[in-house]
A and B are shown apart, each in its own frame.
Chain A
Amino acid sequence: RRFHGSGSAAVQVTVRDALNQAMDEELERDERVFLMGEEVAQYDGAYKVSRGLWKKYGDKRIIDTPISEVTKPGVCFMTFNFSMQAIDQVINSAAKTYYMSAGQQPVPIVFRGPNGASAGVAAQHSQCFAAWYAHCPGLKVVSPWNSEDARGLLKSAIRDDNPVVFLENELMYGVSFEMTEESQSKDFTIPIGEAKVERQGSHVTLVSHSRYVGHCLDAAAVLAKEGIECEVINLRTIRPMDVESIEASVMKTNHLVTVEGGWPQFGVGAEICARVMEGPAFNYLDAPVTRVTGVDIPMPYAKTLEEHSLPQVKDIIFSVKKTLNI
């Protein structure tokens, strides 16, 4: 499988295991933390993310809920597609409560689960909800890419006193990444609201989140052979978005391409375009911002169709060259 190096010597850890370890450590650290969701306990998690936790912490802390898409006051959605049924609770009971009560009622909760397209799960199970949730004040929306992201951001999310929507990606669960020793310590957290520059470059800025960060890095490797150096930014947090990092990069490279798995209209890329226009980086753009997104259709089932519904590395390469007018 793939892996990407990220610094001083360490271990190969899958995203799944990173999430599992993060939850384990946070459950141990704070008695008040508990996990609930469909199949999180005895099934060890539908995608095995919560494997072993029930054995260790028992019925009180790890709770299997019946199939019940609306009433999930707790933590895990089997996929975020199901969260649409509970979305009223996420927005109206969680996100808005602290504001409506003028600070009397905080809601420290994490809604986590796989988001976006998987493989062959078809239209009703493949939607990306980043834009939907990131639209709402009162929520934090986080979208990790690699194992370090998963671990550090999940710990931060659990420790946060506010509602956090934690968008994982099913296709990433089994992917291994090198993790530094530091990133494996019990108190390693990644601040919510800070993006990371995964690769330095000078010709064009690529901004992405979740799985597509990997695609951007692959595209960058190919483009580097042609002398085009891409700067790749991993958003890590969708809301609040770290616009400053994007702007700083654009002011250096003068070109911006956004890459996401979600649909184009009213999406993450659209928001980035709007924000860049409103800030100092606009004057540094030598070309309009380009958005690379999923195709504007419900997700088909057939393999070839599915592949062509989502951004591929070649689409990113093509878009970079168009943006650079090459």
Chain B
Amino acid sequence: MSEYVSLTSPPPSAPAALEQTQRQPENPAAVSTRASTEQLVSIQTDRPEQPARAARVVVARSFTDFTPQVTFDIKKCDLHRLEEGPPLRAELTREQGLQYYHTMQTVRRMELKADQLYKQKIIRGFCHLYDGQEACAAGIEAAINLSDHLITAYRAHGFTYTRGVSVKEILAELTGRKGGVAKGKGGSMHMYAPHFYGGNGIVGAQVPVGAGIALACSYQGNNQLCVTLYGDGAANQGQIFETFNMAALWKLPCIFICENNKYGMGTAVERAAASTDYYKRGDFIPGLRVDGMDVLCVREATRFAAEHCRAGKGPIVMELQTYRYHGHSMSDPGVSYRTREEIQEVRSKSDPISMLKERMLANNMASAEEFKEIDIAIRKEVEEAAQFATLDPEPPLDELCDHIFHNEPPLEVRGTNPWSKLKSVS
């Protein structure tokens, strides 16, 4: 049995939800080479005492059943000051698809777990959740290298994960424990990793810093670039425009990405911005508007942008049109300025994880069971991480004053009263 039989026909198109440009059988898998359950069960005559169950199908199936690679049509990007944009078709291998799925689903489950922990008051303070926007983080990371740099604002848990920090260290940071990625001293908005500069609490302040990182890349001549993210709310800030000016002037290798999730806190974009064409707001900087719910669109656009920067053409702006299911933060139910129907509609029609999964299933790139197994494994990982985050002790009091200065001999820090003299170690 070989899958090559079904591949003699031209590549299948994407599921019905997206535009069809080719007439293809709706579900090529319907005429696939997969044997039916009954057929498989009947082959296994060596174990007559075992009842015929659907589970057997998994055991008997080999990976050569699946389509190794499919080319999908993706939405065209709106362009600003660009003659041409990213390609209109994206290649997806089975491995990539499963990896993107795994990444997005992990971020999703991690954020939902954070929601739960927050409601149990195990996480305190600010908590800005990323669920709904997973395709942005996953797609961007798929197009850059770990040696490139990335900086974002406070809705940062997803990027913290894609930049290499484990779910365990993220959740433990949210719960303020010593096993957290910043030893419990940073919290939700201040997580860091090599080539990942947080996590920044002051709206827009990360953008000039991102350009500075790009300046360092250009100064060091290392062919790296910096992805600098901000939201639709921050997009109206003065410092963003100061940054655009310098980045363009000095041709910095900086990809400015506006994650437009339609609301700056509770203010819809139409009420906040005289121009909601965020991809054009860079004026003299070329821009792209991208479907941020499609991980392949995000990846292709980021690849295009990365090539632009690395070719020395200077900065570029990308607007990712995306959506957040949660409110601005955990203290915002998120329904006083938008309708539940709107949220539900996005969930059912444009969920990034569902879209990828449906695409892969429709094209026989993986099985439903495989996805289920991935889900189960992720659930387990997140559960264990949450356990750790709940049980790990808080950072010890004698480390309260540490990390004030780098490369310094220990210094004395005044405590809450004159007799309290605390020690600070680098």
Contact B209 A73 (CB under 8 A): yes
Q: B56 on the interface (CB 8 Å rule)? A: no
Residues of A within 8 A of B242 (CB): 66, 68, 70-71
What 0/1 readout, one digit per residue, does chain A (162-173) give for beta carbons within 8 Å of chain B? 100000000000
Candidates A60, A68, A70, A93; contact of B200 at CB < 8 Å = A93
Closest A residue by C-beta to B245: A66
The prevalent SS among residues of A at the interface is: loop
Q: A7 on the interface (CB 8 Å rule)? A: no
Q: B243 on the interface (CB 8 Å rule)? A: yes
Contact A100 B190 (CB under 8 A): yes
Q: A286 on the interface (CB 8 Å rule)? A: no
Q: B426 on the interface (CB 8 Å rule)? A: yes
Contact B238 A70 (CB under 8 A): yes
Residues of B within 8 A of A88 (CB): 202, 205
At the interface with chain B, which of A102-110, A245-253, A304-312? A102-110
Q: B63 on the interface (CB 8 Å rule)? A: no
Closest B residue by C-beta to A67: B242
Q: B402 on the interface (CB 8 Å rule)? A: yes
Contact A102 B185 (CB under 8 A): yes
Given A161-B406, A162-B406, also A73-B201 (CB < 8 A): no
Which residues of B158-193 have CB atoms within 8 Å of chain A's CB atoms? 182-186, 190, 192-193
Contact A89 B418 (CB under 8 A): no
Contact A102 B404 (CB under 8 A): no
Q: B339 on the interface (CB 8 Å rule)? A: no
Contact A89 B209 (CB under 8 A): yes
Contact A71 B185 (CB under 8 A): no
Residues of B within 8 A of A70 (CB): 208, 238-239, 242
Q: A98 on the interface (CB 8 Å rule)? A: yes
**Complex formed: what's the CA distance from A74 to B211 in Å?**
11
Min C-beta distance of B220 to chain A, whole Å: 8
Min C-beta distance of A31 to chain B, whole Å: 9
Interface size on B, residues (CB 8 A): 40
Given A60-B219, A162-B408, A278-B418, also A103-B426 (CB < 8 A): yes
**Complex formed: what's the CA distance from A2 to B357 in Å?**
79
What 0/1 readout, one digit per residue, does chain B (107-139) give for beta carbons within 8 Å of chain A? 000000000000000000000000000000000
Residues of A within 8 A of B183 (CB): 102
**Complex formed: what's the CA distance from A98 to B402 in Å?**
10
Min C-beta distance of B392 to chain A, whole Å: 14
Min C-beta distance of B211 to chain A, whole Å: 7
Candidates B193, B212, B238, B405; contact of A73 at CB < 8 Å = B212
Candidates A66, A73, A74, A100; contact of B185 at CB < 8 Å = A100
Min C-beta distance of B195 to chain A, whole Å: 11
4 nearest interchain CB pairs? A73-B212, A106-B406, A71-B208, A102-B183
Binding site for B on A (CB under 8 A): 34, 60, 63, 65-66, 68, 70-71, 73-74, 88-89, 92-93, 98-106, 108, 137-138, 140, 161-162, 240, 278
Q: List 21 A-B contacts (CB under 8 A).
A: A65-B246, A66-B246, A68-B242, A68-B246, A70-B242, A71-B243, A73-B209, A93-B200, A93-B209, A98-B406, A99-B185, A99-B404, A100-B182, A101-B190, A102-B182, A102-B184, A108-B406, A138-B405, A161-B407, A162-B408, A278-B418
Binding site for A on B (CB under 8 A): 182-186, 190, 192-193, 197-198, 200-202, 205-206, 208-209, 211-212, 215, 219, 238-239, 242-243, 245-246, 249-250, 402-408, 411, 413, 418, 426
